[in-house]
Structure 1
Amino acid sequence: MSLTELIAGVEDHEKRLTVFNADSDAVAALSEQFHDRNVDVVGEHTPSGRPKTFAVLSSDGSFVTAADVDNILEPTTTEETEPGFDGEAYQPILDHLDETMFTSYDIGQMVAASREIEDRAWRVGKGTLHSGFQKLSILQDQMDIYEQLAEKKHLEVHAYAVPDADVPDHDSDLTIHVERSDEIERSWFVAYDGAGVDVNKCALLAEEREPRSFYGFWTYDPSTVDWIIDHLDSTYGLVESQ
């Protein structure tokens, strides 16, 4: 299975958020709130009209969780935040949206999401971080950050890119994998193994389906993170490093 096939597998499992006994404005607000997720938002009413304004999340027809609509609606006065992995904005529904697709993320959103994983690796300070930059020229622009990460004594850092430029000079232990691979050229990924601790594992995986527009998912699921890292380890062996 390839990285693209993994993305397609997640994409095939759309979740549904059914909003009960809420007015059309609330349903529309939730639809907009989750517009860049692979979540179908629909409105329904119970015969009794009770309980008032609650939402049920289901996956493949099976119940996942329920929450009061007021607890998951973003306050209209709150400024829009960058996408991330803290899960605070949409509690508690987003606690159950692991491996949910996002659509049409631009470069700014992808960078913001990537920084969350890189920051976790930095704070833990050990383990292994794998990052796909698509092209060496793109990696060049991120070398300051990745050399800083690679300076962590117990953190092993791997970067993957196709050769459209020279391998960047560096003085750190950063390992650069130079790959003539369509998969690497299409994919943006950041995967952290959590130093072997499951609760620390996380990954972002996306593919460029339109020019500089990315479709993919993030995950905290340890088995999915392990699969991504195992795939990278077993598939890409050509290494160009200092």
Structure 2
Amino acid sequence: MTFPHVGGQQATTTESVPDGLTLSAFNTDCSDAALDTLAGTLAQYLDIEDVTTGSTVTDAQPDEFLTLHNGVLIDGTLVHSEREQEDIEATASMFKPTDTIFFSGYHDHERLRALSQRVEKRAWQAGAGNLYTVGQQRLSTMDDHWGLYASIAGQGTEVHVYEDESYVPGDTDQFTIHQETDGLAGTWLVAFDGDGNDAAKGLLLVEERDPDQYFGVWTVEPDLVDEVLSQAVGHSDVADPTE
């Protein structure tokens, strides 16, 4: 895959991700502090020793975007609290051609939930593979969503829920419950592994650093989905030859 904002350079794969990466911002008035927080969040998700922020650059492109790179790893649209509300809504709802959206201090929980539903729809349509859902939606209070997850499980997708089993309503046998969630505290994760199909993979992973201040990423870039799943829940897209 190539990325139009950076001269059509070829994206690197996760196998060549270095110990340190640079997060560069283009055409943005996002604060340096918010970008530094996002860089730290991404370093944590990708298990990279250091992600540093580069200079904010202005170019001929009209839109704000970020690149996370050493060479180029990935680029994507940037949304943050300093943007006008209508711009944020246009980015999140109309989906200008992009595989990735970075969030830095984003505050619209309902828009994030709409993005999570795009991932869940992929899992429902596939009827196979693994859907992972963690915390921060607040699972224990989202009764209207349990029916959707039951439907996804009924289609044949294995639904992994990271939550205390006592909070899961109804028949818990339809889900795979993981009660060890300490390493995922404060995280909102909805991710689908695509059942081996790169075109079906998708992920929303954000952290609420302050009340209604979310930092993280939504992506359908398969390498990034694989890398985050590997770090967050220990999932590998490579089959175990002993099974």
Deviation at 1:141, TM superposition (A): 4.9
Deviation at 1:42, TM superposition (A): 5.8
Identity of aligned pairs, percent?
A: 27
Alignment pair present for 1:137 and 2:140: yes
Deviation at 1:122, TM superposition (A): 1.2
Would the aligned equivalents of 1:132 and 1:161 in 2 still touch at CA under 8 Å?
yes
Q: Secondary structure at the match of 2:170?
A: coil
The aligned counterpart of 1:124 is 126
Q: Secondary structure at the match of 2:174?
A: coil
Name segments (4+ residues, structure 1) moved above 6 Å.
Answer: 36-41, 61-65
Deviation at 1:210, TM superposition (A): 1.1
Would the aligned equivalents of 1:139 and 1:161 in 2 still touch at CA under 8 Å?
no
Taking structure 2 as the reference length, the TM-score comes to 0.58
The aligned counterpart of 2:102 is 100
What is the correspondence of 1:45-124 to structure 2 with a 5 Å cutoff? 59=67, 80-81=89-90, 83=92, 89-91=95-97, 95=98, 98=100, 100-124=102-126
Would the aligned equivalents of 1:99 and 1:217 in 2 still touch at CA under 8 Å?
yes
Q: For 1:31 and 1:61, locate their aligned partners in 2 and report how far apart those are by CA, in whole Å.
A: 23
- The residue type equivalent to 1:120 in the other structure is R
The aligned counterpart of 1:73 is none
Q: For 1:100 and 1:146, locate their aligned partners in 2 and report how far apart those are by CA, in whole Å.
A: 26
User: Residues 125 and 210 of structure 1: is their aligned pair in 2 closer, same or farther, counting only changes over 3 Å?
Assistant: same
**Bigger Cα Rg:** 1
RMSD: 4.0
The aligned counterpart of 1:177 is 178
User: Residues 79 and 215 of structure 1: is their aligned pair in 2 closer, same or farther, counting only changes over 3 Å?
Assistant: closer
Aligned counterpart in structure 2 of residue 157 of structure 1, from 156, 159, 163: 159
Would the aligned equivalents of 1:82 and 1:112 in 2 still touch at CA under 8 Å?
no
Taking structure 1 as the reference length, the TM-score comes to 0.58
Q: For 1:184 and 1:156, locate their aligned partners in 2 and report how far apart those are by CA, in whole Å.
A: 20
Gaps of 5+ in 2: 1-19, 39-53, 76-85, 236-243
Aligned counterpart in structure 2 of residue 146 of structure 1, from 146, 149, 163: 149
Deviation at 1:109, TM superposition (A): 1.6
User: Residues 16 and 105 of structure 1: is their aligned pair in 2 closer, same or farther, counting only changes over 3 Å?
Assistant: same
Per residue, is there more strand in 1 or in 2?
A: 1
- The residue type equivalent to 2:110 in the other structure is G
Would the aligned equivalents of 2:24 and 2:66 in 1 still touch at CA under 8 Å?
no
User: Residues 192 and 180 of structure 1: is their aligned pair in 2 closer, same or farther, counting only changes over 3 Å?
Assistant: closer
Aligned length: 182
User: Residues 198 and 55 of structure 1: is their aligned pair in 2 closer, same or farther, counting only changes over 3 Å?
Assistant: same
Would the aligned equivalents of 1:147 and 1:171 in 2 still touch at CA under 8 Å?
no
Alignment pair present for 1:15 and 2:18: no
Q: For 1:148 and 1:169, locate their aligned partners in 2 and report how far apart those are by CA, in whole Å.
A: 13
Deviation at 1:99, TM superposition (A): 5.9
Q: Secondary structure at the match of 1:146?
A: helix
